[in-house]
Amino acid sequence: MKIKHLTIASVALAVLTTASAQAAVIAGWDFSQFKVPGNAAGGSSPLGATNASLDPNGAGVESGFIGQATFNNAVLLPTAGISQNCDRTTGTDGCAPPNVDGPVRSNRSEPFDLDRPSFDAFSILREEGQTYTHRYGMTATGPVDVVFRTVAGYTGGASNWKVTFGGRMLTGTTSTVDVAFSSDGVSYTNYGTVNLTLDDELHEVTLDPAAYGAGYVRLSLDAASGQPVIDNVAVEAVPIPEPAAIAQLLSGVACLLGLARLRR
């Protein structure tokens, strides 16, 4: 019977651990709000997020209150392209042939959010009133800093921060994206440099593991020797369960153990 008690407790602990370790898209940007290339209508800075796990629909207007992207005037408005079905589960290399069906198609969905809308979920965006819904990416012809601010939205904040995005060069020989993270939007820590190629590739950079109520991811695009383009930027983290939720689960475990004792 003691073994049974331990089994029940072990299962409950496993559920608790799994629930607390599940990553989520805190906020994501597909840059679909842009009207047409070269026109900022509907997509100027700051640019609201279009995807968020805490958005009731997973994508839509509410996401814009969870994440905001700010950038300087050096950012050109996105390159047009119609994307076909393609996501990170198909692999990271050669997700889209150069200049075919849009410049960047990788990272359109997350493996842990398969029950949520993918990036470019235009039907939901249109239903919620978004005027412009196009599959564009963000590009630059000069040095550009883009800051993606997210609010975790959980009582305990979120930990194990990470950023993923699709990226490639449109033209040129070399182009890089420097990645930095901050919890206050003032003091940033660098977390490496991504080298873009002419192939559409998914890029994933692990950031600060600590828990914060908000996160700021800065992507610095270098266009000195090539024109970069990024798309479907996702700021990801592991939500920290609310103390009340943990207490409720532990209370349930205690009840299970109590019932097990009564049945001995």
DSSP string, 65-98: HHEEEEE-TTEEEEEP----S--GGG-SSSSS-T
pTM exceeds cut of 0.85: no
Q: Is the pLDDT of residue 93 over 50?
A: no
Give me the chain's average pLDDT, please: 76
Specify the higher pLDDT residue, 111 or 60.
Answer: 60
Query: Could you tell me the residue ranges of all domains in the chain?
Result: 23-245
Instruction: Please give the pLDDT value at position 155.
Output: 86
Binned at pLDDT 50, 70 and 90, residue 73 comes out as low
Specify the higher pLDDT residue, 27 or 75.
Answer: 27
161, 208 Cβ separation under 8 angstroms: yes
Instruction: Please give the pLDDT value at position 45.
Output: 79
Instruction: Please give the pLDDT value at position 261.
Output: 52
Q: Which CATH class is domain 23-245?
A: mainly beta
Tokens of 58: 């997973």
Mean pLDDT, residues 129-150 taken together: 84
